[in-house]
Structure 1
Amino acid sequence: MDLEDTLLMMPGPVPVAPRVLRAMSKPMINHRSAEFAAIYDDCREILADVYQTKNDIFVISGSGTAGMEAAVGSVVESGDKVVAIENGKFGERFKDLAALYGEVVPLEFEWGTSVDLELVKEKLEAGAKAITLVHNETSAGILNPAAEIGKLAKKHDVLFIMDGVTSLGGDEVKVDEWGVDIAVVGSQKCLAAPPGLAMVSVSEKAFEVMNDVKKRPYYNDLKAYKKSGDKARTETPYTPAIPLFYALQEALHIVKEEGMEARINRHRVLSEAVRAGVAEMNIEMFPQLNEYSQYSNTVSAMKAPEGIDGEDIKGDMKKRGIIVAGGQAHLKGKIFRVGSMGNVTARDVLSTIQGLEIVLKKRGCLDGLGAGVEAANSVIDKL
């Protein structure tokens, strides 16, 4: 399989624009120089618009999980209670991270089912220092109620830590309005940069809490990032992945050129097109929604048709040069997922729906071809 001809339609990493790849080939520079500071400052300025925040933003050389650990480890220590909401794989990861640093108060729902806000309220009323939430749970294709969780966190005076790894840059995220104290995003998702960077926004309230935390992480200590970020010439506390910063800056310029309103609308329309296309194939969406949850606007999770393993669909699509994702953990084989994040285009979505129709017809699930593509295209006409 020729990787250059492969279409990545998974929930990250996503295809990277040629100009972003070219940016990575620039010469190395001193990471303690004015040249690097200018790049870092530019990235932080654009990220503030993406986050919709006036809070400090830092860039960690590490994956989104590094950002998640920085968020939890910098404010939680032994004995602190953390309400960890889980309705998918990455909520589980937040729960596991919290257990390393403090005392987890688990709030577990079946993966793909909606968060019960009354249960969240009960847990917070019992007392906690922080609450964690994955805004966009890609393992199950569900968008969780961040705004409502933020209101509850504020009412009970707990820190709100949010994984926005797969929503920031592709869906509406209002960090300040929602009262998010620490929000994490990954470079290889909606921002369409290569993997390897995590961006973290931090509120003043969170910094105040950090002052009393005796044992914070070393590399992922957000206080260390603030100290370096507040210098007259902006720095990171440790050696940054300079080529990835080049790439991030260029990717953020693409975001800025498109405009966040247009970018969010494109993600929403294209994910709606995916859902319309699969509906014509009688494929059922996996998430179970309530009034506070929605289908994800950056990845669609579908149940595998009866009698077909989701991994087989994934394999058949790969043979056609289209990479989609399967289910994780106990969902493996039961679902498959189609990403629509980053710089994804209408052509990408239509190619994917067409490929899926062919795959399912060959497996005896469809009588004809074209209905899915036509349904998806009718939605895409909204762009």
Structure 2
Amino acid sequence: MHKRLFIPGPVDVAPDVLEKMGTQMIGHRSKAASVLQRSISDKMRKLMFTENEILLSTTSGSGLMEGAIRCCTRKRAAVFSVGAFGDRWYKMAKANGVPADKFSSELGQPTTPEMVEEALATGKYDLVTITHNETSTAIMNPVEEIAEVLKKYPDVIFCLDTVSSLGGTKIDVDKLGVDVCITSTQKCLGLPPGLAICSLSQKALDAARQVENRGLYLDLVEIYDYIQKKDYQYPSTPSLSHMFALDYQLDKILEEGLENRFARHAEMARYVRDWANKHFEMLAEEKYASNTLTTIKNTKEISVKDLNKELDKRGYEISNGYGDLKDVTFRIAHMADTTLDEVKALLVTIEEILNLK
């Protein structure tokens, strides 16, 4: 029996989208491949609210995160972390020999504009990484306020991890001044894992050209120059199967309407937060709570493992807490093509299992 996934990725994928993954191959150096990949880029610009170039990578989101910090840091990176995935960006910097400092918030607390201002005022940093939506804590950082700080520092490259939020909440890349906005397919976009996507500003591209050791497979300059020269073909063999599905899914997303899609995610989030506050307690403050998943404090000290065993019998799965938050929290995702009625059915089932009143 298929379990309905309410975990923060991978998500359930609609049958018609999965079917597109089975499309017969075409030559990846063919005109048809150029048409497909250009179509994806044009649609992604609409979803990201940007005029910047779109790059695709047959990796997880981590691939383009690593590529961004390695390619675009000329001097030193300021990595802001609100959990496991900010920590990962710092680990990537160190593994690639990129000078970097990490600025961590307490678990459940956001990156504040004041933190970013204090770091940039030192003049030490020419690149900043922000996790927009942290899947371990379900913090959604105040990116609009952070962006206003970064606008005071026009030479600093602004990298934003939107892996678990793009497609589920509005991220106006150009208005925010994001130079490298990174996402991947297995969360709010509603596809299987295996493809990463980013937008790349001219400022980021110019900065990257000044960096000598950018690697090869994840060299953003190499990818950018190749798709310009070869009409949206890629230097390495891409995952055409993901691209067929992504092109199709983006049509469905645009047909739903971006504002409608964002509103649906916000409605599901409000419902889960209200439920969490009624029966347990939220980890994040309301104003920093994610629209795509919710991390709930385990105030009743339930066995999350046992809860998932019972949910499994009924065809559902949720997530335990991540890392240091394992068992002291649990997580419910509400993203991609999930509906409010499906969320309600899950929560009723949890109430029955735990005998919640």
Pairs within 5 Å for 1:110-189: 110-127=106-123, 128-157=125-154, 158-189=156-187
Contact 2:147 2:177 in 1 (8 A): yes
1:99 match: 94
Find the aligned partners of 2:151 and 2:15 in 1 and give their Cα distance: 43
Q: CA deviation at 1:360?
A: 1.5
Find the aligned partners of 2:308 and 2:77 in 1 and give their Cα distance: 36
Deviations 1:281-323 (A, max 9, x none): x21011146xxx5210000110113332333333332332211
Find the aligned partners of 2:179 and 2:73 in 1 and give their Cα distance: 13
| Structure 2 residue corresponding to 1:309, chosen from 303, 310, 313 | 303
Q: CA deviation at 1:105?
A: 1.6
The alignment partner of 1:170 has SS state of coil
1:360 match: 354
1:205 match: 203
Q: CA deviation at 1:62?
A: 0.7
1:375 match: none
Find the aligned partners of 1:232 and 1:329 in 2 and give their Cα distance: 43
Contact 2:280 2:300 in 1 (8 A): no
| Structure 2 residue corresponding to 1:74, chosen from 54, 67, 71 | 71
Find the aligned partners of 1:307 and 1:330 in 2 and give their Cα distance: 15
State the TM-score, normalizing by the size of structure 1.
Answer: 0.89
| Structure 2 residue corresponding to 1:83, chosen from 78, 93, 96 | 78
Find the aligned partners of 1:349 and 1:287 in 2 and give their Cα distance: 20
Find the aligned partners of 2:219 and 2:21 in 1 and give their Cα distance: 27
The alignment partner of 2:130 has SS state of strand
Contact 2:78 2:103 in 1 (8 A): yes
Residue type of the partner of 1:110? E
Contact 1:132 1:161 in 2 (8 A): yes
Find the aligned partners of 1:202 and 1:163 in 2 and give their Cα distance: 13
Find the aligned partners of 2:350 and 2:112 in 1 and give their Cα distance: 34
Find the aligned partners of 1:234 and 1:120 in 2 and give their Cα distance: 36
Ranges in structure 1 where 5+ consecutive residues have no aligned partner: 369-383
> Percent same amino acid among aligned pairs?
33
The alignment partner of 2:225 has SS state of helix
1:319 aligns with 2:329: no
Find the aligned partners of 1:217 and 1:151 in 2 and give their Cα distance: 32
1:332 aligns with 2:326: yes
Change (3 A) 1:312 1:110: farther
Change (3 A) 1:103 1:233: closer
Deviations 1:238-266 (A, max 9, x none): 00011111111111111111111110000
Q: Which runs of 4+ in 1 moved over 4 A?
A: none
1:372 match: none
| Aligned residues between the structures | 354
The alignment partner of 2:229 has SS state of coil
Find the aligned partners of 1:171 and 1:269 in 2 and give their Cα distance: 11
Ranges in structure 2 where 5+ consecutive residues have no aligned partner: none
